[in-house]
């Protein structure tokens, strides 16, 4: 029996129509799988994942998704998120953030700024397929207040991902940012046209150079100058220092007084970054908080959920040391 067949069996549907889950077998298989193995599994389990009619991804059938989430409740969505196509996973996260309102808008920033241009485009396509409307129009309709224009621009972006940079444009952008921050109303900076344009259209290497130029020319980190403007600061961290951003997000998620949105980040970050930059995140976490990430997870999580997360992090660390 192949590992895909074994996992399908652990997800097997009983005669009553409910799922029976062999957790031990499932975990042993899932933590070893690479993205291509997960793709194969989705393609081979048509009773769970359906091929989208318009775009190249497999999506979870709605009724079965509800059953899966109920069966895997003790895993806090980790297993469901891990097996989903990344486009669908991000689209569903964005929808949940929009439903929850302003307290969850940081998740939209995270999704828009830590994904590649093609990954974000894929999430936008999945969003259209799942909800019959674009994420851009949904953000425009659901977000109220000064954040709307900025968030619409972020989720609509398709950034250049090459390494080429223009020194003149870098210098100009740094000066425009400083002027906007120095002369603007600190509570309204997220609406400033120049700030919105620069942060939502420029490439990540360009922005890294801009922020370095900003510091060199004005003697201050741009984050300091932004004061309490958390949306813009999170955007800058997500674009140019994702390991630091995710480390802080994980630390907040594992605090005793964390709220629901913060707690869910533990699953989200581990699952979505394992095959991306988890080694860098774990190293940054250790540097910032003086505790190995795996040790902290072991202290706050329980049972198979804990084992699943710890094994994913350890897998990324072992892969990075090969």
The CATH number assigned to the domain holding 96 equals: 1.10.220.10
Kindly report, residue by residue over 69-97, the tens digit of the pLDDT: 877 777 888 989 999 999 999 999 999 99
Quick one: 235 and 248 in the same domain? no
Nearest residue to 244 (alpha-carbon basis) of 209, 273, 216: 273
Q: Does residue 292 share a domain with residue 269? A: yes
Tokens for 116? 């590649």
Domain check: are 258 and 289 in the same one?
yes
CA distance 264 to 250: 10
pLDDT at 109: 97
Residues 215 and 258 in one domain: no
Q: Is residue 151 domain-shared with residue 169, that is, in the same domain?
A: no
Strands (E), 52-137: 58-60
Could you identify the residue written with the tokens 């894929």?
122
Asked if residue 264 and residue 291 are part of one domain, the reply reads yes
Q: How far is CA 264 from CA 110, 244, 259, in A?
A: 14, 18, 9
Asked if residues 8 and 45 have their Cβ atoms less than 8 Å apart, the reply is yes
| This prediction's pTM | 0.91
Q: pLDDT digits over 161-219, tens only?
A: 999 999 999 999 999 999 999 998 888 999 999 999 999 999 999 999 999 999 999 99
Question: How many Å apart are CA 195 and CA 175, to the nearest integer?
Answer: 11
Residue 62 predicted with pLDDT over 60: yes
Residue where a domain stops, chosen among 84, 112, 128: 84
pLDDT at residue 16 is higher than 50: no
Of the candidates 253, 258, 199, 255, the one whose C-alpha atom is nearest the C-alpha of residue 226 is: 199
Whether 313 and 257 share a structural domain:
yes
According to the model, what pLDDT value does residue 72 have? Answer: 78
95 plus 146 within the same structural domain: yes
Residue-by-residue DSSP string for 230-275: HHHHHHHHHHH-HHHHHHHHHHHHTSTT--HHHHHHHHHHHHHHTT
**Cβ neighbours, 10 Å, residue 116:** 13
Both structure tokens of 98: 């929009």
Site of tokens 């192949």: 2
Are 35 and 17 in a shared domain?
yes
Q: What is the dihedral of CA 224, 161, 111, 256, to 10 degrees?
A: -50
More confident residue, 70 or 240: 240
pLDDT score recorded for residue 74: 72
| Closest to 97 in 3D by CA, of 85, 110, 80 | 110
The domain total for the chain is: 4
Same domain, 137 and 201: no
CA 181 to chain centre: 28
Would you call 54 helix, strand, or coil by DSSP?
coil
Please identify, among 84, 118, 146, the residue that sits at the C-terminal boundary of a domain. 84
In a shared domain, residues 171 and 137: no
Same domain, 151 and 205: no
Task: Give the residue numbers spanning the domain of 172.
Answer: 159-240
Domain boundary among 157, 190, 212: 157
């Amino acid at each position: 029996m192949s590992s895909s067949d074994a996992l399908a069996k652990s997800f097997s549907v009983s005669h009553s129509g409910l799922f029976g889950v062999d957790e031990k077998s499932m975990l042993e298989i899932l933590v070893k799988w690479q993205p291509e193995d997960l793709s194969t599994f989705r393609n081979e389990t048509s009773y769970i994942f359906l091929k989208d009619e318009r775009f190249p991804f497999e999506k979870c059938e709605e009724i079965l998704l509800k059953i899966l989430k109920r069966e895997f409740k003790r895993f806090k969505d980790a297993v469901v998120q891990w097996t989903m196509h990344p486009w669908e996973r991000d689209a569903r996260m964005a929808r949940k953030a929009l439903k929850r309102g302003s307290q969850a808008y940081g998740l939209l920033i995270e999704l828009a700024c830590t994904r590649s241009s093609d990954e974000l485009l894929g999430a936008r396509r999945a969003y259209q397929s799942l909800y019959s409307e674009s994420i851009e129009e949904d953000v425009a309709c659901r977000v109220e207040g000064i954040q709307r224009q900025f968030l619409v621009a972020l989720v609509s972006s398709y950034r250049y991902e090459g390494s080429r940079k223009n020194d003149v444009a870098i210098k100009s952008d740094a000066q425009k940012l400083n002027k906007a921050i120095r002369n603007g109303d600190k509570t309204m900076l997220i609406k400033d046209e120049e700030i919105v344009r620069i942060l939502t259209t420029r490439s990540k290497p360009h922005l890294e150079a801009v922020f370095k130029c900003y510091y060199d020319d004005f003697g201050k980190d741009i984050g300091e100058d932004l004061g309490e403007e958390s949306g813009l600061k999170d955007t800058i961290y997500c674009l140019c220092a994702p390991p630091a951003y995710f480390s802080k997000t994980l630390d907040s998620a594992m605090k005793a007084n964390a709220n629901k949105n913060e707690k869910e980040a533990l699953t989200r970050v581990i699952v979505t970054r394992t095959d991306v930059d988890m080694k860098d995140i774990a190293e940054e976490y250790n540097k910032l908080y003086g505790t190995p990430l795996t040790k902290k997870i072991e202290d706050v999580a329980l049972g198979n959920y804990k084992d699943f997360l710890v094994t994913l992090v350890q897998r990324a660390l072992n892969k990075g040391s090969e």
